[in-house]
Amino acid sequence: MLEWQEMQINAIMTTNEDDLWSYMKYGLCISRRNGKGEILAAREFYAIAELNEKVCHTAHRTTTSHDAFNRLYTLLKKSGYEEFTKKKQEMPERSFYSSKQYGLEHIEIYGGGVIDFRTRTNNGGLGEGFDLLVIDEAQEYTSKQESALAYTVSASPNPQIIMTGTPPTATSGGDVFETLRGVILSGMAEETGWSEWSIEKQTDDISNVDLWYKFNPSLGTILKERNIRAELSVGVVDFNIQRLGLWVKYSQKSAISAAEWDELKTDEMPEIIEKYYIGVKYGKDGVNVAASIAARTPGGSIFVETLDCQSVRNGVGWLLEYIHNPKVAKVAIDGANGQAILSEQIKRMGYRPPILPKVGEIIAANAEFEQAIVQKRICHTGQPSLAGSVSNCEKRAIGSNGGFGFRSISDLHDIAIMDSAILAVWLAENAQEETAQTIDY
């Protein structure tokens, strides 16, 4: 066993003054083929051979759980344990019984513990109890699966859950592993351990062998340079994630990618040649209201940025200050939670009545915004709040004729910010130049 693997085992099996596991939950994130399976096998071996624990090893794919069974099975044989193909009333010490049925593998130590190997499902594990729960391929572990499995260790006097995996890719379906990491980094997790090998920012220098060694502790031993070199063709982003351990800060499943939005970034505030247009969106939960501003530029593109996103409890004074600007030509407000109230306040203050877009206009605004991004007719300064909202969205159906809107796929980003920007861009794109009225006699 390599030094880094021994350090992980020691961390996982650390106990407190009451002789209980210091970490009731432990996460290990490391790139593929570095040998995290050996760590799990060592912990599981000790669980069934020394502690008489009942263990459940789960994986996303049956092939993975089967490989884990074979790994532990081989370890038992190498350790001098004798296998019996059938359970017998009297079995000698240091012996075990195993069931090799594919997808339902099972090992039982004579006078000791047992371990089941299973493929995860949304309801698998309900009604069963374990002392140790192993979540392999944790990047695929979903909230539904967690709700079925997490409580299976609740009755144990000394429970432990171990999650191992890699950072999620665009095709990963899990959310629990990423959530756990976020809680760890926030400092809010108790009795929880975490280890990872990860590059902080994406690099284009994926041929840098020094980086390979930095983020792959088994490189040069069980992992060879030539194997990694053969992976370079997978692409920069995928290599950063799967070989350098990058946790991307944007959603790879977003309808609008971070890369697409970043292509529209301008380093300097552009010149504005026309008046401003403000879009206001009340969130559907009635908690926040967001406002964004857009304007045309000499090059024909539309500049957009978010003014603010505040709690509705703060009132609308801050909004009215922006709207009071004489350069503001039009304001559009969407959101049943506050649309009518804000509209009335604007009219009472003597400003031009705002536009309250209908469903068809909202659908058109969303489609125009998407096309403007594709055609690169939008520019911005890289504002983090707006970038976060735009690059963490997915489409949702509106109406019955193929119309769509957007919704957030991350609790960290408010879709109202993006929606307000869409309204502002829509106003700017469809604005007609005002001409002075003339009367001839």
Per-residue tokens: 381: 């300064």
Q: Under CATH, what is the fold of the domain 258-429?
A: Nucleotidyltransferase; domain 5 (3.30.420)
Higher-pLDDT residue of 381, 171: 381
Confidence grade of residue 380 (pLDDT, cut at 50, 70, 90): very high
What CA–CA distances, in Å, run from 386 to 95, 255, 268?
Answer: 62, 15, 17
- Indicate the pTM of the whole model: 0.64
266-278 confidence digits (pLDDT tens): 988 999 987 999 9
Q: Is 76 within 8 Å of 46 (Cβ atoms)?
A: no
- Of 26-30, 68-72, 92-96, 397-401, the one with minimum mean pLDDT is 397-401
234-250 confidence digits (pLDDT tens): 888 889 999 999 997 65
pLDDT score recorded for residue 15: 97
pLDDT score recorded for residue 169: 82
pLDDT at residue 86 greater than cutoff 80: no
pLDDT at residue 324 greater than cutoff 70: yes
List CB contacts of 438: < 8 A, sequence separation 6 or more.
none
The per-residue pLDDT of the chain, averaged, comes to 90
pLDDT at residue 382 greater than cutoff 80: yes
- Give the C-alpha separation, 56 to 62, whole Å: 14
List CB contacts of 350: < 8 A, sequence separation 6 or more.
none
pLDDT score recorded for residue 121: 81
- Give the C-alpha separation, 441 to 436, whole Å: 17
Higher-pLDDT residue of 293, 396: 293
Q: Domain limits of the chain?
A: 3-196, 258-429
191-220 confidence digits (pLDDT tens): 999 999 999 988 999 999 999 999 999 999
- Give the C-alpha separation, 438 to 111, whole Å: 101
The number of angstroms, rounded, from the C-alpha of 256 to the middle of its chain's C-alpha atoms is: 15
402-411 confidence digits (pLDDT tens): 788 999 887 7
- Give the C-alpha separation, 169 to 172, whole Å: 5
CATH class assigned to 3-196? alpha beta
> What's the mean pLDDT in 281-292?
90
Confidence grade of residue 431 (pLDDT, cut at 50, 70, 90): confident
pLDDT at residue 435 greater than cutoff 60: no
331-357 confidence digits (pLDDT tens): 999 998 888 889 989 888 888 899 999
pLDDT at residue 438 greater than cutoff 60: no
pLDDT score recorded for residue 352: 84
Top-ranked range on mean pLDDT: pick from 107-111, 223-227, 318-322, 334-338: 223-227
Percent of the chain residues topping a pLDDT of 70? 94
